[in-house]
Chain A
Amino acid sequence: MSESMNISPPKLPLKFLKWFCNPDMVEDVEGDISELFSKRLKQNKLKARLFFTLDVLLLFRPGMIRKFEPINKIINYAMVRNYIKIAQRNAVRYKGFTLLNLLGLVIGIAASTLILLWINDEVRMDKFHTKGDKIYQLFRNMRQSGGIVNTTFTVPKPAADMLRNEYPEVTQTTQVSWPVTFRFSLEENGSDEVGRYVTPEFLDMFSFPLIAGDKASVLADLSSIVVSETVARKFFGKDWREETIGKTLRLDGTRDAKITGIFEDIGDNSSLRFDFLLPAQEFYSRNDWVDDWGNGSFGVYFTVDNEIAAKTVAERVLNEIKVHAAGQDNAGDEELVIHKYQDYYLYSNWDNGVINGGRIDYVNIMSVVAVFILIVACINFMNLATARSGRRSKEIGLRKVMGAHKKSISIQFYVEAFLLTSIAVVLAIGIVIVLLPYFNILVEKSLFLDFTLLQTWVYFFGIIIVVTVLSGSYPALLLPTFNIIQSLKGTVKQSSGAAYFRKGLVVFQFAISTLLIIGTSVVYKQINYILTKDLGLDKENLVAVSMEGDLGRRLDTYKTELMNIPEVKAVTGSSGNPLNYGRSTSSANWEGKSPDAGYEINIMLTDYDFIQTMGMDMKLGRDFSNELADSTNFIINEAAAELMGFDDPLQKDLSFWGIDGNIIGVVKDFHMADMYEPIAPLIITCISPGSSSVAFVRIQGSPNSALKSIEKVTKEFNPAFDFDYQFVDESFAETYRAERTLSTLAGIFAVISILISCLGLFGLSAFTAERRSLEIGVRKVHGASVPQILVLLSKDYSKLMLIAFILAIPFGYYFTQKWLDDFEFRTALDPFVFLIAGILTFLIGVLTVSAKSYQAATVNPTDSLKDE
């Protein structure tokens, strides 16, 4: 008997029974099955255990299972009121801690909300079209012999016609041009507007609503034009609704267009932007080159009914250009691919002919940052709450003595977390509303908190619940486990596990902060690298003036007049900005070129002064010269020289567009596209300076007075047009706007993350200092100096910072390297960056700890010891 008595029934089933069984019955039922168990033990130990488990499982039935509703609603209500009151008293009593806690949460929630607003806006871009999920765009992959694929949205017009007429799957097709600028004039009023040529189906396919006019017919007539509400208001004042339709605008002073419709202004949620629409047919009727399979023209959009149809079209359209352009001398190795229109805003990076990310990368990065910041803020809450639990131990002990369940104590801590989180969310909403205008300027959006949307409410309540659970769970699960007697004595020793967990959380916080600092530094360094890189030309003090109308043909006299301005050093005309150039041909031919190879080579039309004005360097040969009649001589860049494979390119024959000539020089490579792209081959010719569309003016001295004089001269030549200019270095910097915004945002959020982490650390070190005040007092009495005590108190946390830093390095390396890999030209990952980030975080962390520790170390020991 005594032997079997010692063996107790299996624990787990018993625990389960105690959990589910109706409390009225649990005692005798447990007794019954224990008795059975001990009886069975005499026969077989294993069997007894098995039967015991089986008994418990068979007891799990209706009639035995207790009710799982709140035990008693009236008591619960009273208790919750008590929890709220106690939470309130605690919050007021320890103002400092409450403030730290709240501040961390508020900053974290506000920052995450701002980021999520931005993400939400990015994701919703172009999603408003009713046929949105059916619209696809056609792209053209131009395969170079070097293995590189360039992708463009310009597609030969015959391909669009084919889609429209011969593809049964395609339900609608439209062509949309690149943005075009026209000078609109009506009587004496005039303004420059940017719009697009489109085919009539455009307004039906895309959901740009018309205020006036019928979308089926507004673009039917070749001389028609549809304008935006803004343009209508500009020309027709407050009566624009009645006045606009039927009026005639003069375009560029050369032809008339009759207004047949008005469309609502394009919202910020559209990536297709325009202020007027002209019939594409009008453009086609003036340009027969569009009918050639070898020339890319307007962008092509089409709709299909479903994904399967899209796939069929994609397979069939792939080789249409190769088939139809075969045998033509400008036929390139080209393929047509399709891409869903509404995804294009986020996925628009072509990498060798296939989509590889795009803005979605930034959206992903920011999502991760938002989640991280929220977690960092929650960790603060957890750490402060558990660290301070010693103060609450008596309360917990007393509650337990009075019969509180563990469960009701966890509920209490959840209620506290919930209260604090709710207050934090309300404050965060206030902060977001105040900060949004500034944030909008930063990210160039018009974001706002829309409280009429259910989504917004769901988000904020979601945040409250998530943060409550994240930050309340640890204290709510840990604190109720305290031993009653110890907690009443006030000598609760937290298990080393809890301390390790807390330290782990601090490490996590600082690792994230370090990671963000590393990311910010690398992005900043890359942008700095781009902006200061030697581009192969001198972009400072260079003004680009666009030459409207027929000014190009009067280039010589225009240049002479400009040169008379004292601040002007040099002037040149060119067919485009050399830093952002894309006008290419596949018809170039040179000595030794293999007849089958297709190469897309850029052609730049300039005048004799181009190389010199731009400040480019010649690598070989000579610059164009006025005296030597160089109109059929060409200069190529290094990339072209390499592509053509000459040992000595000078005096080699080269032809394109039917022009034969010789190479007289090789210019050092300059950047013709952004740093994501390699430098493309280029031929520079001065055969037709009259084709120039931009004049580049090298200025010296005061840019303001130079600009004024240039404007005066330009206005004299072209009175009908606005003076349109750009500083080349500024427009270059503008190209990297997304990257610069990312760098600013990453910087701000890195600061926020480290700020929140420091708030938590400050609280923790305050807690440590307080707990060890007696020890400090004793040490001081025995002659310890303030610095010694500082070191003593900071040592633990310094170790954590170090671990955080070591953890952050591999992740930082991986993510930043991945981001940099997208760039063709990039700065090297410098270990120095990591070191600086680490030292910075370390210093900030240690300073935070020391600030509090110093206070503790300078306390007069008599004060801390007198209570003992």
Chain B
Amino acid sequence: MGKYSIGEFEEVVLLTVAILFENAYGISIKEEIEKRLSRKVSVGAMRTALNRLEKKGFLISEFGEATAVRGGKRKRFFKVTPYGKDALEQVMETRKQLWDAIPSIAFDFKFA
């Protein structure tokens, strides 16, 4: 994985943030992941992942406007940094290389 250390769940979160683009905040990310991956995500797990990603420099965040729906609390919007993009590309690249290295016979299950 080289210079980028990123976990599987972190990768999912980071990709989701990229998908949502300018509307990536806690709940939207959570719902997007739940929708696309059909798995349950707790606010706690997601928020700590976002936190870690931000600390690693893959994400930046800023507050949006306050809305009444949230008890007057502002949303925190996340955006993928170029560095984060590099990390995602690197992960994909590594995966691809690994896939390419698999001999075709390995997945030939006919004789198994």
Comparing B5-13, B46-54, B87-95, B97-105, the segment that makes contact with chain A is B46-54
Q: Name B residues whose Cβ lies closer than 8 Å to a Cβ of A.
A: 25-27, 30, 42-45, 47-48, 51-52, 63, 68-71, 73-76
Contacts of B27 in A (CB 8 A): 32, 35-36, 39
The listed residue (A9, A32, A39, A62) touching B43 by CB distance below 8 A is A32
A8 within 8 A of B: yes
Contacts of A59 in B (CB 8 A): 43-44, 47
Contacts of A5 in B (CB 8 A): 68-69
Q: Are B69 and A55 in contact (CB under 8 A)?
A: no
Complex formed: what's the CA distance from A25 to B78 in Å? 13
Q: Output the nearest chain B residue to A59 by Cβ-Cβ distance.
A: B44
Please name 16 further chain A to chain B contacts, defined as beta carbons within 8 Å, in addition to the given A55-B44, A59-B44, sorted by A numbering. Answer: A27-B63, A28-B26, A28-B76, A30-B73, A31-B74, A32-B25, A32-B75, A34-B70, A34-B73, A35-B27, A36-B27, A39-B27, A58-B45, A59-B43, A63-B52, A64-B47
| Cross-chain pairs A/B with CB under 8 angstroms, 30 sampled | A5-B68, A8-B71, A27-B63, A28-B25, A28-B63, A28-B74, A28-B76, A29-B26, A31-B26, A31-B76, A32-B25, A32-B26, A32-B30, A33-B43, A34-B69, A34-B70, A34-B73, A35-B26, A39-B27, A55-B43, A55-B44, A58-B43, A58-B44, A59-B44, A61-B44, A61-B48, A63-B48, A63-B51, A64-B47, A64-B51
Complex formed: what's the CA distance from A55 to B70 in Å? 15
Q: Are A34 and B71 in contact (CB under 8 A)?
A: yes
A38 within 8 A of B: yes
Number of interface residues of A (CB under 8 A): 24
DSSP class of A's interface residues: helix, strand, loop or mixed? helix
Contacts of A36 in B (CB 8 A): 27, 43
> What 3 A-B pairs are tightest by C-beta distance, nearest first?
A31-B73, A32-B26, A28-B76
Complex formed: what's the CA distance from A624 to B78 in Å? 117
A29 and B71 in contact (CB under 8 A), knowing A36-B27, A61-B48, A63-B51? no
B4 to chain A, nearest CB (A): 20
Complex formed: what's the CA distance from A264 to B71 in Å? 82
Interface centre among A5, A31, A61, A64 (most CB of B within 10 A): A31
A31 and B70 in contact (CB under 8 A), knowing A25-B51, A36-B27, A63-B52? yes
Contacts of B63 in A (CB 8 A): 27-28
DSSP class of B's interface residues: helix, strand, loop or mixed? helix
Complex formed: what's the CA distance from A62 to B52 in Å? 11
Complex formed: what's the CA distance from A512 to B26 in Å? 60
The listed residue (B44, B48, B74) touching A27 by CB distance below 8 A is B74
Complex formed: what's the CA distance from A64 to B26 in Å? 14
Complex formed: what's the CA distance from A33 to B26 in Å? 9
Q: Output the nearest chain B residue to A14 by Cβ-Cβ distance.
A: B71
Contacts of A62 in B (CB 8 A): 48
Q: Are B75 and A9 in contact (CB under 8 A)?
A: no
A449 to chain B, nearest CB (A): 56
Complex formed: what's the CA distance from A636 to B24 in Å? 109
Complex formed: what's the CA distance from A59 to B42 in Å? 8
- Name A57-72 residues within 8 Å CB distance of B: 58-64
Contacts of A55 in B (CB 8 A): 42-44
- Name A2-47 residues within 8 Å CB distance of B: 5, 8-9, 25, 27-36, 38-39
Contacts of B69 in A (CB 8 A): 5, 34-35, 38
Q: Output the nearest chain B residue to A55 by Cβ-Cβ distance.
A: B43
A2 to chain B, nearest CB (A): 10
B18 to chain A, nearest CB (A): 19
Contacts of B44 in A (CB 8 A): 55, 58-61, 64
Complex formed: what's the CA distance from A64 to B76 in Å? 15
Complex formed: what's the CA distance from A60 to B45 in Å? 10
Q: Are A27 and B73 in contact (CB under 8 A)?
A: yes
Complex formed: what's the CA distance from A60 to B63 in Å? 23
Q: Output the nearest chain A residue to B66 by Cβ-Cβ distance.
A: A31
B13 to chain A, nearest CB (A): 14
Complex formed: what's the CA distance from A27 to B27 in Å? 14
Contacts of B52 in A (CB 8 A): 63
The listed residue (A9, A25, A58) touching B71 by CB distance below 8 A is A9
B44 to chain A, nearest CB (A): 4
Contacts of A64 in B (CB 8 A): 44, 47-48, 51
Complex formed: what's the CA distance from A758 to B30 in Å? 66
Complex formed: what's the CA distance from A86 to B5 in Å? 52
Complex formed: what's the CA distance from A27 to B61 in Å? 13
Complex formed: what's the CA distance from A61 to B46 in Å? 12
Complex formed: what's the CA distance from A36 to B27 in Å? 7
Contacts of B48 in A (CB 8 A): 61-64
Q: Are B47 and A25 in contact (CB under 8 A)?
A: yes
Q: Output the nearest chain A residue to B63 by Cβ-Cβ distance.
A: A28
B35 to chain A, nearest CB (A): 14
Contacts of A31 in B (CB 8 A): 26, 70-71, 73-76
A11 to chain B, nearest CB (A): 12
The listed residue (A28, A38, A61) touching B75 by CB distance below 8 A is A28
Complex formed: what's the CA distance from A63 to B63 in Å? 20
Complex formed: what's the CA distance from A64 to B44 in Å? 8
Q: Are A32 and B47 in contact (CB under 8 A)?
A: yes
Complex formed: what's the CA distance from A180 to B28 in Å? 98
Contacts of A61 in B (CB 8 A): 44, 48
A58 and B42 in contact (CB under 8 A), knowing A32-B47, A35-B27? yes
Interface centre among B30, B68, B71 (most CB of A within 10 A): B71
Contacts of B75 in A (CB 8 A): 28, 31-32
Complex formed: what's the CA distance from A126 to B43 in Å? 66
Q: Are A29 and B68 in contact (CB under 8 A)?
A: no
Contacts of A9 in B (CB 8 A): 71
Contacts of B68 in A (CB 8 A): 5
Contacts of A63 in B (CB 8 A): 48, 51-52
Contacts of A60 in B (CB 8 A): 44
Complex formed: what's the CA distance from A639 to B109 in Å? 114
B5 to chain A, nearest CB (A): 16
Q: Are B42 and A30 in contact (CB under 8 A)?
A: no
Contacts of A38 in B (CB 8 A): 69
Q: Output the nearest chain B residue to A24 by Cβ-Cβ distance.
A: B51
Q: Output the nearest chain B residue to A38 by Cβ-Cβ distance.
A: B69
Contacts of A33 in B (CB 8 A): 43
Complex formed: what's the CA distance from A64 to B63 in Å? 18
Q: Are A29 and B43 in contact (CB under 8 A)?
A: yes
Q: Are B70 and A29 in contact (CB under 8 A)?
A: no
Q: Output the nearest chain A residue to B73 by Cβ-Cβ distance.
A: A31
Complex formed: what's the CA distance from A233 to B27 in Å? 94
B50 to chain A, nearest CB (A): 9
Complex formed: what's the CA distance from A406 to B76 in Å? 28
A831 to chain B, nearest CB (A): 66
Q: Are A28 and B73 in contact (CB under 8 A)?
A: yes
Interface centre among A5, A28, A39, A58 (most CB of B within 10 A): A28
Complex formed: what's the CA distance from A211 to B44 in Å? 76
Contacts of A30 in B (CB 8 A): 70-71, 73
Q: Output the nearest chain A residue to B43 by Cβ-Cβ distance.
A: A55
Complex formed: what's the CA distance from A5 to B70 in Å? 9
Q: Output the nearest chain B residue to A5 by Cβ-Cβ distance.
A: B68
Q: Output the nearest chain B residue to A30 by Cβ-Cβ distance.
A: B73
Contact with B along A162-184 (1 / 0, CB 8 A): 00000000000000000000000
Q: Are A29 and B74 in contact (CB under 8 A)?
A: no
Contacts of B51 in A (CB 8 A): 25, 63-64
Contacts of B42 in A (CB 8 A): 55, 58
Contacts of A25 in B (CB 8 A): 47, 51, 76
Contacts of A35 in B (CB 8 A): 26-27, 69-70
Contacts of B47 in A (CB 8 A): 25, 29, 32, 59, 64
Complex formed: what's the CA distance from A63 to B52 in Å? 8
Q: Output the nearest chain A residue to B46 by Cβ-Cβ distance.
A: A32
Complex formed: what's the CA distance from A28 to B24 in Å? 13
B57 to chain A, nearest CB (A): 16
Contacts of B30 in A (CB 8 A): 32
Q: Output the nearest chain B residue to A57 by Cβ-Cβ distance.
A: B44
Contacts of A34 in B (CB 8 A): 69-71, 73
Contacts of A39 in B (CB 8 A): 27
Interface centre among B26, B30, B43, B63 (most CB of A within 10 A): B43
